[in-house]
Amino acid sequence: MMKQYYIFYKPFNVLSRFSPEGEKRTLADYFNNIEKDIYPVGRLDYDSEGLLLLTNDKQITHQLLEPSHAHPRTYLVQVEGMITQDAINNLQQGVMINVNGALYKTKPALAAIPDKEPELPERDPPIRFRKNIPTSWVKLTLTEGKNRQVRKMTAATGFPTLRLVRYSVGSITIDDIAPGSYKTMDESVKDLLLRR
């Protein structure tokens, strides 16, 4: 079996799967004639955007999803309000979130306020704009992936997430990919994905 790898920039409001659900867009809207054994690695929520790997390589899938490997994933997060250094410190140290009905303290993360607003394509549709409530951005790198973890983490610090973009996995980024587009990679992508 030939191993295949696709790096996809998942747009907002697209399901990270091929099977249909009502009128929602899925990966099938972007990938034509793809082999049946190719699946997305992990999930990126319907209302999140950014990097998604699709492959039929079970080994890399296991390595990326197995929590003990703790590979880094970086997110660009637009939040409601002007995020404070205290909130950044809390994100770095770990915050309490609800996971499957139980309280869970997140692992230490890398968190920073970018020097300038990230250069990202406009979201379609754009986030709601409120003149009296400013927004700000956080760059957050995690080594774990609980359900809706980033959103829960920023909310726990008092800054709800408005826009969430997975920017990178390992050293693979979305820099040269447009939303809804993908690029085909060879096996060298494995080292890049697992790079710390």
Q: How many residues does the chain have?
A: 196
Find, among 5, 58, 33, the residue nearest to 184 by Cα.
Answer: 5
* Cross-strand partners of 136: 79
Active site residues: 45
Q: Cα dist. 3→16, 71, 91, 124 in Å?
A: 20, 21, 37, 33
Residue 64 CA to chain centroid, in angstroms? 13
Cα(183)–Cα(126) distance, integer angstroms: 25
Cα(47)–Cα(186) distance, integer angstroms: 29
161-169 and 49-55 strand pairing: parallel
The answer to whether 47 touches 164, Cβ cutoff 8 Å, is: yes
Residue identified by tokens 């410190």 is 89
Cα(83)–Cα(159) distance, integer angstroms: 7
Report the greatest alpha carbon distance in the chain: 56
Find, among 52, 45, 35, the residue nearest to 12 by Cα.
Answer: 45
